[in-house]
C-alpha cells in the first residue's frame, strides 16, 4: 500500500495517475481524497498512518507559499518540518519507506555551478529553512527515505508560474519579469514520472538517500516566461506574443529572499538510477500540449 499525501496538489495529481501501476494507492488530502489528512494538524498524522498501514509514504504535501511563509513561520514549520518528523518517526517504527519532496531553496543561491546533493545548505528564507529542517528531521528519524529536491514546479492546474504568465500575458501589453534568478523549471509530470521510475527501480533499498530531481538545463524566470508565451502564441492559446522585459530582483521586491542561482545537478540521479531527465524545454512543450488539450476539451 502506498499512501500519497497532498494528492490534490499539482504534483500529487500527477503522482495519483502514475503510482497505481506499482500497487494500491491511498490518496490523502485535506478534502476530496480517499482519506482526510491535514499535515498542519500534527495530532492526526500518526492515527491516520496507523489506520492505513502503508508500506510506502509519498509526501507530496507542503506549505509552498514562499512570501506568505515570512509572516506564517509557525505554519510553515509545522507542515514542512514537524509533520515530516512525525511521518518519519512512524515510518521508522513500522519499517515503511518515505519519499519526501524538498526544494532548491535550501541552498544559499550564491553559487555559479549546479549544486550537488552533498554541498552545504544555507536557506535564505523561512520557506527554505522549514524545508531544510524537514530534511534534517526525516534523516534523523531513522526511516528509510528518499529526499527528492526539485525546483520551479509547474503544471496545467493549480497555482504556478506557467498559469500566471498565461493569464497576465492575455491581460497586459507588456510584462516585466526577473532575469537574474536562475533555476531549473520542472513540470509536475516530469517529476512524477521520475519518482515512479525511482520507486520501480530494482534493489531500491540500496539506493536510498537525497537526490536532485529536476529537468536538465537552466534559465531565468524571464527566459521561462518568454518560452511560455512564445509556445502559447504558436499554439493559438494567445492572440499575440506579449513582449517580456527583463528586470532585476531589486526592481521586483518580494518579502522572501530567493536564491540567485539554484540550478541542481542530476548527475547522482543518472549515476545511481540510470535516469536522464528531459530538458526543461521538453517538459514545457509536453505541459503546453496537455494544457491545450484540456482547454480544447480533448481526451
pLDDT at 298 over 50: no
Q: Which three cell numbers stand for residue 78?
A: 509545522
Predicted local confidence at residue 297, as pLDDT:
53
Up-side HSE of residue 244: CA atoms within 13 Å toward CB? 22
pLDDT tens per residue, range 60-109: 999 999 999 999 999 999 999 999 999 999 999 999 999 999 999 999 99
Share of the chain above pLDDT 70, in %: 98
pLDDT tens per residue, range 132-186: 999 999 999 999 999 999 999 999 999 999 999 999 999 999 999 999 999 999 9
pLDDT at 9 over 60: yes
127, 154, 196, 211: the active-site residue? 127
Rounded Cα distance, 83 and 75, in Å: 10
User: Which pTM value belongs to this model?
Assistant: 0.96
* Domain covering 2-159+185-216+264-279, topology: Rossmann fold (3.40.50)
127 is catalytic: yes
pLDDT at 293 over 90: no
Domain residue spans of the chain: 2-159+185-216+264-279
Rounded Cα distance, 215 and 6, in Å: 22
The answer to whether 76 touches 63, Cβ cutoff 8 Å, is: yes
Strand residues in 173-254 grouped as ranges (E): 175-178, 182-183, 186-187, 209-212, 219-220, 244-247
Amino acid at each position: 500500500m502506498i499512501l500519497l499525501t497532498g494528492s490534490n496538489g499539482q504534483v500529487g495529481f500527477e503522482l495519483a495517475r502514475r503510482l497505481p501501476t506499482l500497487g494500491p494507492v491511498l490518496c490523502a488530502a485535506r478534502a476530496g481524497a480517499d482519506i482526510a489528512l491535514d499535515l498542519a494538524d500534527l495530532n492526526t498524522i500518526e492515527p491516520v498512518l496507523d489506520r492505513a498501514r502503508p508500506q510506502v509514504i509519498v509526501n507530496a504535501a507542503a506549505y509552498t507559499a514562499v512570501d506568505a511563509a515570512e509572516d506564517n513561520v509557525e505554519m510553515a514549520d509545522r507542515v514542512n518540518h514537524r509533520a515530516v518528523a512525525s511521518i518519519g518517526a512512524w515510518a521508522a517504527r513500522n519499517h515503511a519507506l518515505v519519499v519526501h519532496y524538498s526544494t532548491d531553496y535550501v541552498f544559499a543561491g550564491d553559487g555559479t555551478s549546479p549544486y550537488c546533493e552533498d554541498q552545504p545548505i544555507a536557506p535564505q528564507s523561512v520557506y527554505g529553512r522549514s524545508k531544510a529542517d524537514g530534511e534534517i528531521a526525516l534523516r534523523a528519524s531513522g526511516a528509510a527515505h528518499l529526499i527528492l529536491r526539485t525546483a520551479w514546479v509547474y503544471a496545467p492546474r493549480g497555482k504556478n508560474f506557467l498559469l500566471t504568465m498565461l493569464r497576465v500575458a492575455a491581460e497586459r501589453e507588456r510584462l516585466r519579469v526577473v532575469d537574474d534568478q536562475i533555476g531549473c523549471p520542472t513540470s509536475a509530470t516530469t517529476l512524477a514520472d521520475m519518482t515512479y521510475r525511482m520507486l520501480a527501480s530494482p534493489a531500491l533499498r540500496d539506493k536510498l538517500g537525497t537526490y536532485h530531481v529536476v529537468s536538465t538545463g537552466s534559465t531565468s524566470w524571464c527566459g521561462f516566461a518568454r518560452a511560455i508565451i512564445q509556445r502559447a502564441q504558436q499554439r493559438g492559446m494567445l492572440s499575440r506574443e506579449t513582449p517580456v522585459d527583463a528586470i532585476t530582483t531589486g526592481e521586483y521586491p518580494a518579502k522572501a529572499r530567493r536564491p540567485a542561482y539554484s540550478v541542481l545537478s542530476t548527475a547522482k540521479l543518472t549515476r545511481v538510477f540510470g535516469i536522464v531527465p528531459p530538458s526543461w524545454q521538453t517538459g514545457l512543450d509536453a505541459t503546453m500540449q496537455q494544457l491545450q488539450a484540456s482547454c480544447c476539451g480533448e481526451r
